[in-house]
Amino acid sequence: MLKQLLATTAAALALSAATASADVKIGSIVELSGPGAAAGVNFHDGVKMGFEEINAAGGILGEKVELLEYDSQTDPQVSRAMVQRAIDDGVYAITGTVFSSSTVVNMLVAQQAGIPQFTGSEAPSIVQKGNPYIFRTAFGSQKGMPKVAKYMAEEMGIKKVALVWANTEFGKGGYDAFIEQAKVYGFEIVADIPTEQAQTDFSADVVKAKNSGADAVFVYLTEEESARFLREAQKQSIGLPMIGETTLIGAKVIELAGDAANGAMGHVGLSADAGVPAITEMVDRFKIKYKYTPDHNAIKGYTAAWTIKCVTEQIGKFDREAFVEKMHGLTLSVEECPGILMTTSWDDTGEMSRESFFVVVEDGKQTVKAILPPN
């Protein structure tokens, strides 16, 4: 009996010692369920794969990474609670959330605790609130919109636009950014169509866009809504070019919309079909591991993991303040940090910059039509 008790105690002590000596903790707080699951699951799987590869290569400064997972349920208040939980669990940095409506709420919690946070969100407001701890993994829409608007005006000769947008933080940010560019390029907005998060029936919206006299429809919705919109547009033979920024032409949208996605076009910061060898190799490994084609969110998550590793190793210690200081104004090249996939810069607000692509969906795949320079 005594022997058994001693053995159990020894085992427990060994276990607790192992835990104590371990590992740097990273919190992945993403939309694993709810309307944002398509984006969140991709982002999380990218983060997970990134840290698994980092651990296989020796970890960060010799420490293994323990990735803690939290489901925000695509609910801003839940996401806030999950960020707090991650902080209580002692994380070094946070990856996520992807939905802007959540990020604008939860990033304040991370800021108060002084935790660096890598978000997949694209609403311009996220980096305009003076939060030094927030860093993007993709452009804000205020960076992407000028690129896509320029292409629409100069390459496609579009003058009248029907604007379909998500009435969320993400959508409003994109909407404002597009309206600003519409003024620059003289687009007339002939139909202004807000839609709801998780909206299922887009028949009225497509009718409105179709009969608006527009030269093109600009669609700024999240992934599942984009797919439903494209299906409805096909059902009603909309007969207009459909252009988007990042989400409309994502891999998940193409999978969900099927044939209806063909012909959709837009600007993407990252593309599995970009022809960049490092991205292609990452995508191939991802497909083998998760049995599905990753979209830009997965690539964002993956690069977030490698950014945390590379920047921490550049400063040589697990020091959040030094990390944040290093990130501001940093350009991280592929030579220094291959996992970043493309050379990327961050400014003092946490906004990022790199080359991007204008793509058209053909035969269910993104085809790159133009490589657009950083702005």
Partner 1 sequence: MTEFLQLILSGLAAGSIYALAAVGFTLLWQASQTINFAQGEFVMLPAFFVLVGMTVLGMPMWPSVLFALVVSLLILGVLFKKLIVEPMLPHGTLPLVIATIALGLLLKESVKEFYGATAQPFPPVFPQTVHQIAGVSVSMQDVGNLIVSMLVIGGLQLFLNRTRTGRCMQATAQNPQVAEILGVNIKRMVMYTFLINAALATVASVLISPIYLAKFSNGETLGVVAFTAAIVGGFNQIRGALVGGLLIGVLDNLSAVYISAQYRSAIPLILLIMILLLRPQGLLGTAEGRTV
**Interface with partner 1 by CB under 8 A: which residues?**
32-35, 37-38, 41, 167, 193-196, 198, 200-201, 203-205, 207-208, 210-211, 224, 227-228, 231-232, 234-237, 252, 255-259
Provide, rounded to whole angstroms, the least separation between the CB of residue 341 and partner 1: 24
User: Residue 74 or 356: which CB sits closer to partner 1?
Assistant: 74
Q: Which is nearer to partner 1, 49 or 251 (CB)?
A: 251
Name which of 338, 334, 371, 356 is nearest 138 in CA terms: 356
User: 46: closest CA among 316, 277, 292, 335?
Assistant: 292
Q: Indicate the residue among 291 and 317 with the shorter CB distance to partner 1.
A: 291
Q: How far is the CB of 49 from partner 1 (least distance, A)?
A: 17
Task: Report yes or no: 36 and 99 within 8 Å, Cβ to Cβ.
Answer: yes
Q: Are 171 and 165 in contact (CB under 8 A)?
A: yes
Strand 160-166 relative to strand 188-195, pairing? parallel
Q: Residue 122 or residue 295: which is nearer to partner 1 going by CB?
A: 295
Give the nearer residue to partner 1 in terms of CB position, either 258 or 275.
258
Shortest gap between Cβ of 112 and partner 1 (angstroms)? 29
* Distances from the Cα of 100 to the Cα of 11, 73, 276, 291, angstroms: 45, 13, 28, 27
* Distance of alpha carbon 350 from alpha carbon 328, whole angstroms: 7
Q: How far is the CB of 364 from partner 1 (least distance, A)?
A: 11
Supply the minimum distance, in Å, between the C-beta of residue 205 and partner 1. Answer: 7
Distance in angstroms (rounded) separating the CA atoms of residues 223 and 237: 21
In the bound complex, what is the minimum distance in angstroms from residue 155's beta carbon to partner 1?
A: 29
Cβ proximity to partner 1, 231 vs 296, nearer residue: 231
> In whole angstroms, how close is the CB of 10 to partner 1 at the nearest point?
37
> H/E element holding 370?
strand 365-372
Question: What's the longest Cα–Cα distance across the chain?
Answer: 86
CA distance 297 to 17: 37
| Alpha-carbon separation of residue 242 from 187, 213, 231 (angstroms) | 15, 14, 12
Rank residues 8 and 203 by Cβ distance to partner 1 and give the closer one: 203
In whole angstroms, how close is the CB of 198 to partner 1 at the nearest point?
7
Please, how many CA atoms are within 13 Å of residue 27, restricted to the half-sphere of its CB? Answer: 29
In the complex, least distance from residue 33 CB atom to partner 1, rounded to whole angstroms: 4
What's the order of all strands across the beta sheet hosting 65-71?
Answer: 65-71, 24-30, 93-95, 117-119, 134-136
**Complex with partner 1: residue 210 or 309, whichever CB lies closer:** 210
CA distances from 1 to 4, 12, 74, 236 (A): 5, 17, 51, 77
Nearer to partner 1, 30 or 109 (CB): 30
DSSP H helical segments within the chain, as ranges?
Answer: 2-21, 37-56, 76-88, 100-113, 141-154, 169-185, 203-210, 223-235, 251-257, 277-290, 296-315, 320-327
Angle (deg, nearest 10), helices 100-113 and 76-88: 30
Q: What is the dihedral of CA 311, 314, 317, 319, to 10 degrees?
A: -40
CA distance 36 to 34: 5
Q: How far is the CB of 34 from partner 1 (least distance, A)?
A: 7
Nearer Cβ to partner 1 (259/319): 259
